[in-house]
Amino acid sequence: MWLLRLGSQRRYLKLIVGLASLWMLYLATHLDTGTVSGLIHSYSWLEYTNDDGGPEKACDCLGIIQGKQESLEQAKLLTLTKKFRKSALIPNEFYINETRDCRRFKSRRKYITFPLSKEEEDFPLAYSMVVHHKNFERLLRAIYAPQNIYCVHVDKKSAPSVTSAIQAITSCFPNVFMVSEAVSVVYAGWSRVQADLNCMADLYYGSAKWKYFINLCGQDFPLKTNLEMVRMLQSLKGSNSLESESLPAEKQKRISYVYNVINGQIKVLIETRISKKPPPFNLPIKSGSAYIVVTRGYVRSVLEDSRIEELIKWFKDTYSPDEHFWATIQRISGVPGSSWPNRKYDQTDISAVARLVKWQSHEGSQDSESAVYPECQGNHVRSICVYGAGDLQWLLEHHHFFANKFDIEMDPIAVFCLEKHLRHKALAEAE
């Protein structure tokens, strides 16, 4: 009997060896020797290369990131060409058609569909992505990891083709989903906060595994790999990282009067000059940003703390509450990862890791003592720099997780070179 079992085992082993040989023969006949070796010994098939077919391959990304003048001038000339900018855009129809075969879509777009390290696998992150822009898929691809979880909120005012394309993309991933309740986002209104709150709730009650929450908009892009972010978050030891400072005098009227949203073709906020009552529990209102990096405990407080419930009601008719709401919660006693309200614990956007933004009013030359950062190498929208390729070297010198704003319609090279750099770095870390 044991001879029969031994014979069966040998036949099974021969079958396995035969199949392996056929696979190696297939690789050898369809790919060159160098590629076969790379597939066996590295993650080289996930690298972004010039063979991927994008028009951005004409630029020198390494030279751009190193700040070489010749490479930057070449990139500038390319982005001045309307034909080049148009050719770099991926139409919504492409995503709708390609995602009919999800496996092929993820393979062709080179998504990383397995954890690159045990360290990352054991430290999942949760993302809220409030988007309406064409940067979405490239942003998702840049931050995607199978252990993380992603809630996507598409502005209800977005064009149907945009919504359809984003829905098609999210349907290909088990850990990426559309928010359960979308809102129409009004600039400087409460709805911007509500969009994140809706995703927060879906993420918190939908999964008990993730450690930190990060919120994004469609014009953000990462400056760090997932592993770098995990290690930096571990070093925070349960603290949050977000801008939270004393309210400057020029922003005082934002919380002193009632602001209402009126209906119309373009929704706007109208100052009513009706004075607001003091904030609940005499909480000190702080100044900050819409962008945060916070613990699961912070999110639990936002959703379940009765003090914050009252604060939500109070903030709903203020101007640009996203720049004050999160910052104020960060200084409330008992909120996990928070800090004391005393101004000694103030944290600026430069010291926090959440977001690197170039405000036009703070730009200047290198020899200027008052300048916070060098001049924008792209364009300005609402007094914020929309980064160009010439900003990349400066951006990568900082400790921030993400930067804002990027726009592939204005400078596709800035996004292309940044994602190429991060992908190479992530794979090198894994190997």
Residues known to be catalytic:
323
Determine how β-strand 212-217 pairs with β-strand 220-222: unpaired
Separation between Cα atoms, residue 394 and residue 357, nearest integer Å: 12
Separation between Cα atoms, residue 235 and residue 384, nearest integer Å: 30
Residue showing tokens 């009706």: 274
Separation between Cα atoms, residue 329 and residue 347, nearest integer Å: 13
Determine how β-strand 286-288 pairs with β-strand 176-178: unpaired
Residue 120 near residue 230, CB atoms below 8 Å: yes
Separation between Cα atoms, residue 347 and residue 339, nearest integer Å: 10
Q: Exposed, middle or buried, 221 (CB in 10 Å: 0-12/13-18/19+)? A: buried
Residue 407 near residue 219, CB atoms below 8 Å: yes
Separation between Cα atoms, residue 166 and residue 409, nearest integer Å: 18
Instruction: Please name the amino acid found at residue 224.
Output: K
